[in-house]
Structure 1
Amino acid sequence: MRLSMSLHVNLVANGMSVEQIVKEFPLLDAEDIRQALQYAAVLIYEELHPLTGSLL
């Protein structure tokens, strides 16, 4: 079973603990969830653009 990384992030964002997620989706483990969150953080970081000029 494959789950999207957005589902991993969404579950954590909506208050589920890693333990709850692993119990609900037994094919996942804590490392899967950690990697999904880490990847999401990288994507968000790359989307940040500093404010310049009149936007400051």
Structure 2
Amino acid sequence: MAYAEGVWVDDEIGDANRAWVAAHHPGDTLLRRVDARVGLAADDYLAVAAWLRDRTGG
């Protein structure tokens, strides 16, 4: 699991994770599930970059 300002990347994201994020991070948060067998792939980086760009106007 990794968490950076507004982005949570993990191979297992479930209801408990969503509830924790909702309780502790009132702003937008991207919960991005990755395949544990592969790890972070190019499409994950692109999805995170797009999500961040949408929030920063960049």
Fold in common (TM above 0.5) = no
TM-score with structure 1 setting the length: 0.36
Which has the greater radius of gyration?
1
Q: More relative contact order in 1 or in 2 (CA 8 Å, sep 6+)?
A: 1
Higher strand share: 2
Higher helix share: 1
